[in-house]
Homo-oligomer: A and B are copies of this chain.
């Protein structure tokens, strides 16, 4: 069995996952700052119109990149749910 082929695929997946984790770490640093700013000035944690703009933009980018736009929307909603959870925690602390 050609395990080398599977190993090469998996090595690439592992590299991409490391990049994804690092990008997500940077993204949450920024949303942490957003959450602190929103709590400071009294803005609500969630912003539906901003979220809808993000979804539209990412669906277009996904289609161009060959990624399923429906999955991309689910992905963004998954991330944003975690961000909103953090924003509520930050707002609750203040």
Which range holds the interface residue count of chain A? 35 or more
Given known A21-B72, A58-B21, A61-B21, contact A27–B6 (CB-CB < 8 A) = no
- Please measure, in the bound complex, the distance between the C-alpha atom of A54 and the C-alpha atom of B82, giving whole angstroms: 21
A1-56 residues at the B interface, CB under 8 angstroms = 1-2, 5-6, 9-10, 12-14, 16-31, 33-34, 37, 41, 43, 50, 54
Using a CB–CB cutoff of 8 Å, the interface residues on chain A facing chain B are: 1-2, 5-6, 9-10, 12-14, 16-31, 33-34, 37, 41, 43, 50, 54, 57-58, 61-62, 65-68, 71-72, 75-76, 78, 82
Seed contacts A9-B34, A13-B31, A17-B27; 15 additional CB < 8 Å A-B pairs: A6-B43, A10-B50, A13-B27, A14-B57, A17-B76, A18-B58, A19-B23, A20-B20, A20-B23, A20-B24, A20-B75, A22-B61, A23-B23, A24-B67, A25-B67
